[in-house]
Amino acid sequence: MKDTVIGIDLAKNIFQVHGASRAGEVMFRKKLRRQQFMQFMATQ
């Protein structure tokens, strides 16, 4: 498992998710709806 820091910007319907490595490199940026967010977090 890779060490990843996940930052989440919460809103009513859209969640902005940002993942970074320990070194601060961007690993992913996603814009997810509520259901997609729940599925995404369940797999992390």
pLDDT digits (tens, 9 = 90+) for 13-25: 899 999 999 888 9
User: What residues does 41 pair with on adjacent strands?
Assistant: none
How far is residue 35's CA from residue 20's CA, in Å, rounded to a whole number?
Answer: 22
Q: How confident is the model at residue 1 (pLDDT cuts 50, 70, 90)?
A: very low
> Could you tell me which of 38, 39, 16, 36 has the C-alpha nearest to residue 28?
16
How many domains would you assign to the chain?
Answer: 1
User: What residues does 32 pair with on adjacent strands?
Assistant: 15
Domain that holds residue 20: 4-42
Report strand pairing: 26-33 vs 14-21. antiparallel
Higher-confidence residue: 16 or 44? 16
* pTM to 2 decimal places: 0.71
